Amino acid sequence: MTKGILQFAHQLLKNTIQEGDTIIDATCGNGHDTVFLSKLAGKSGHVFGFDIQTEAITHTAKRLQEQSPHKNTTLIQDSHSNFLHHIPVDKLTRLGGAIFNLGYLPGGDKQIITKSDSTITAMEGIMTHLKPKGIIVLVIYHGHKGGKEEMQAIMKYARLLDQKQFAALYYGFINQKNNPPFILAIEKK
């Protein structure tokens, strides 16, 4: 059976993350992915969630408190491109996966969007520190203003990755209207 985009994004992480792993939510937004990751990381793992907006960090903290049984998440109001400043070395060496849910905060300011430069800087850094078989899952929205530029830059970057080091996978529906989101997943070999 086919899976929806967000369902498939979560499935990829579920298949990959191991006990004790560190996971990054690069774009917390309203915290749906952060709650999922917190449950996935369990007692022994840890989640680092990033967002540049106070509103997103507040919503995510509330959702975590209400919906996750674990106290295993650190929320950071900063760009994901600065993730290295915030994750201690012992946690970084256990980095098993990351998710980027690109675009703007649903219900928030549509002018504040993820941008290709910081997204690619963060992706590169995460790819360097990922454990072998670790995965970055990007949910790419490209229907909004600025979305197409970011999508094109990311796809150009991913197509050029050395296939001996990384597997880059595309998953999306090709007959849906209105620029549906799709998944780009990058697995470290």
Q: Which is nearer to ligand SAM, 50 or 182 (CB)?
A: 50
Contact 34/66 with Cβ under 8 angstroms?
A: no
Looking at residue 153, its amino acid is: A
Smallest gap from residue 105 Cβ to ligand SAM (A): 3
SS3 for 77?
Answer: strand
- List interacting residues with ligand SAM (CB under 6 A): 27-33, 50-53, 56, 79-81, 101, 103, 105, 112, 114, 118
**Nearest-angstrom CA–CA distance, 79 and 167:** 26
Smaller CB separation from ligand SAM, 28 or 92: 28
- How is residue 45 written in tokens? 């793992």
Beta strands in 16-117 (DSSP E): 22-25, 46-51, 73-77, 95-101
CB of 169 to ligand SAM, least distance (A): 20
Give least dist CB 162 to ligand SAM, A: 26
Instruction: Report, in Å, the least distance between residue 80 CB and ligand SAM.
Output: 4
User: How are strands ordered across the β-sheet holding 166-171?
Assistant: 73-77, 46-51, 22-25, 95-101, 135-140, 182-188, 166-171
- Residue 49 DSSP SS3: strand
Q: Which position's Cβ is nearest ligand SAM?
A: 29
Tokens in use for 11? 């499935």
Q: How far is the CB of 55 from ligand SAM (least distance, A)?
A: 8
Q: Which residue lies nearer to ligand SAM by CB, 44 or 176?
A: 176
- Cβ proximity to ligand SAM: between 112 and 155 the closer is 112
